[in-house]
Amino acid sequence: MSHMTRVQTQLKSLTAIYSTLQRLGFTTNQMDIDLTNKLSIKGYSGRVGNQKCNVRVKSRHHTGGLKTMHGDMGWELNSDGTITMHRESMDHQYASAKWQEKFMTLYATEKAKEDIEEEGWELEEEEELADGSIRLVALI
């Protein structure tokens, strides 16, 4: 049976999540971000549930949403600073170890780039290595 799944994460940056999703090929038409208000999440049947999020990938239930997704996928910033991911249980492709590994590699890169900018440093080089890892070089 279909249901929304909650995954508690160690992620700390909604903007790095949004940038990661762009790198994974999601377009700005397929995503929403709202850092101050919570967006509703639609499940398998298109019904809005109790889950809310700050970053949302839109499913087939939205104009312009992904036709291959059964329900929305979202990331919610909690009051304690942690981020919870919400996804439809039927969307197996986003639960696979391969997808999660790619997501986490790109998230770590985007978060590091945010930290580099926050420190006032300059990102000089970004290179994807043969093993799939990403090397960043910053000038301090």
pLDDT, tens digit (0-9, with 9 covering 90-100), for 54-81: 999 988 777 777 777 788 899 999 999 9
Q: Name the domain count of the chain.
A: 1
Show the domain range for 117: 4-139
Phi-psi region of 46 (alpha: psi -120 to 50; beta: other; left: phi over 0): left
Predicted confidence pLDDT, tens digits, the chain (140 residues): 566 677 778 899 999 999 999 999 999 989 999 998 889 988 887 778 778 899 999 887 777 777 777 888 999 999 999 999 988 877 778 878 888 899 999 999 999 999 999 999 999 999 999 998 999 999 98
> CA distances (Å), 35 to each of 11, 13, 14, 83, 108, in order?
15, 10, 8, 12, 20
The answer to whether the pTM exceeds 0.75 is: yes
Residue 123 · residue 138 · CB < 8 Å? yes
